[in-house]
Amino acid sequence: MASSHWLQIDRTVRFGDTDAAGVMHFHQLLRWCHEAYEESLARYGISAEEIFPRPGQPLAVALPIVHCSADYRHPLVCGDQLRVWLQPERLDPGSFEVRYSLRCDGHDVATGLTRHVAITVETRRRCPLPLAIQRWLEASNLSAAG
């Protein structure tokens, strides 16, 4: 499976993503990053049920975001076509981060970062990453190296 299939997500800036000045509202960037992360997992073959809780279907391990950041380099407006590149990296056996690079018309327009830690839902203590996430990280790392 080509890594670009799950590490490169395209999206369009919509009117509802903009503020009264007609440019992307600042909070949209982290939402787009998380949506790209979710889409990347799905394209890789990891179902939402394996990672995200659902009513009546508790998970053994949660992956809360413990740090996030965003940098804006160029205004985005309704209709802009974006490409979001994901760069996942394991930090240790129980945590990882994803760096996001957003490009529009060949220009870097924004970057984002989310850092996730695995915890057991029952004890709220750190634990190893779920196997599905480990595989996604390993495959992403191999793709970046190759």
45: closest CA among 121, 113, 131, 144? 131
Which residues are registered as beta bridge partners of 111?
Answer: 71, 101
- In tens digits, what is the pLDDT along the chain, a chain of 146 residues? 555 688 999 999 999 999 999 999 888 999 999 999 999 999 999 999 999 988 988 899 999 999 999 999 999 999 999 999 999 999 999 999 999 999 999 999 999 999 999 999 999 999 999 999 999 999 998 866 55
Residue of 19, 71, 92, 105 marked catalytic:
19
Say what the pLDDT of residue 2 is: 57
The DSSP call for residue 102 is E
Rounded to the nearest 10 degrees, how much is the dihedral formed by the CA atoms of 40, 122, 131, 96? 60
Q: Which residue has the tokens 């076509």?
A: 81
Say what the pLDDT of residue 142 is: 81
19 is catalytic: yes
CA distance 119 to 81: 36
Say what the pLDDT of residue 69 is: 97
Say what the pLDDT of residue 130 is: 97
Q: What is the reported pTM?
A: 0.91
34: closest CA among 5, 60, 63, 74? 63
